[in-house]
Amino acid sequence: MAELIRAGRAYGPVTALEEATLSIRRGELLAVVGPSGSGKSTLLNVLGTLERPTSGTVRIDGHDVAALPDGQLSALRARTIGFVFQQFHLAPGVPVRDSVADGLLYGGVPRARRRELAEAALRRVGLEHRLGHRPHELSGGEKQRCAIARAVLADPAPGSGAAGPLLLLADEPTGALDTASGERVMELLRELNAAGTAVVVITHDRDIAATLPRRVRLRDGRITEDTGGAS
């Protein structure tokens, strides 16, 4: 349902990603690993259509990204893809229920419904007792769970059967957390995966990577290993 075919991304003279071919099937769970600067975030951004490739092809849910104008690409992204970044951008002073609800601002969802969906998403990540808390009143792990709640809010594609986005992309979601909070976040990603969402997790944590069914390794912008490519 998401596919890179010899995709590359250059920033001027810097080639951050080169000839990357990767096919992600519905409901998969995979880790992306590799040294700092090897192109992991670039791969995630290209896969998530936040950046267009400078060579090769990206296909999401059957659509060739290059063929879509920006407006249609944003709509496809909003419908199918959720993101969890390492730097969670929760607005200071804003209750988390509203921060999460704002994730739906551009979907034309009425305010009351946005709040309802936000509360449901926060319940799903175990934060129903923190709806009115402001970011500075949350622990690091709780903030990260808010980020996940916001990511899963992306309205599921009609008829997809998934309880969340088709594809969830997480860039080092446990990087800033202690072991226990990190495990809670991983557990959550597994639950979403079990509910039908394909999940791609960038991680530096060998233990986490080792427990995931498929691992993709990058080095100098190239995929050097993929334990689940062919099957």
User: Which residues of this protein are in contact with ligand ATP, per CB under 6 A?
Assistant: 11, 14, 16, 34, 36-42
* Chain length of the chain: 231
Rg (alpha carbons) of the chain, rounded to whole number: 17
Identify the residue among 41, 49, 174, 203 touching Mg ion (CB under 5 A).
Answer: 41
| Binding partner selected for residue 203 from Mg ion, ligand ATP, none, CB under the kind-specific 5 to 8 Å limit | none
Q: Which is nearer to Mg ion, 41 or 80 (CB)?
A: 41
Q: Which of residues 107-166 bind Mg ion (CB under 5 A)?
A: none
Does position 45 interact with Mg ion (CB under 5 A)? The reply is: no
Q: Which is nearer to ligand ATP, 96 or 216 (CB)?
A: 216
Could you give the CA distance from residue 164 to residue 145 in angstroms, rounded to a whole number?
A: 15
Does position 174 interact with Mg ion (CB under 5 A)? The reply is: no
**Taking the complex as a whole, how short is the minimal distance between the CB of residue 20 and Mg ion, in angstroms?**
15
Write down the residue that tokens 């080639």 correspond to: 15
Q: What is the dihedral of CA 4, 77, 190, 121, to 10 degrees?
A: 180
CA angle 85–189–125, rounded 5-degree value: 90
Q: Which is nearer to ligand ATP, 34 or 165 (CB)?
A: 34
Q: In sequence order, which residues have a C-beta less than 8 Å from that of residue 110 and are 6 or more positions away? A: none
| Binding partner selected for residue 14 from ligand ATP, Mg ion, none, CB under the kind-specific 5 to 8 Å limit | ligand ATP
Size of the site for Mg ion (CB under 5 A): 1
Q: Which is nearer to Mg ion, 85 or 115 (CB)?
A: 85
Could you give the CA distance from residue 85 to residue 148 in angstroms, rounded to a whole number?
A: 9
Q: In sequence order, which residues have a C-beta less than 8 Å from that of residue 113 and are 6 or more positions away? A: none
Which residues in this chain contact Mg ion in the complex, by CB under 5 A? 41
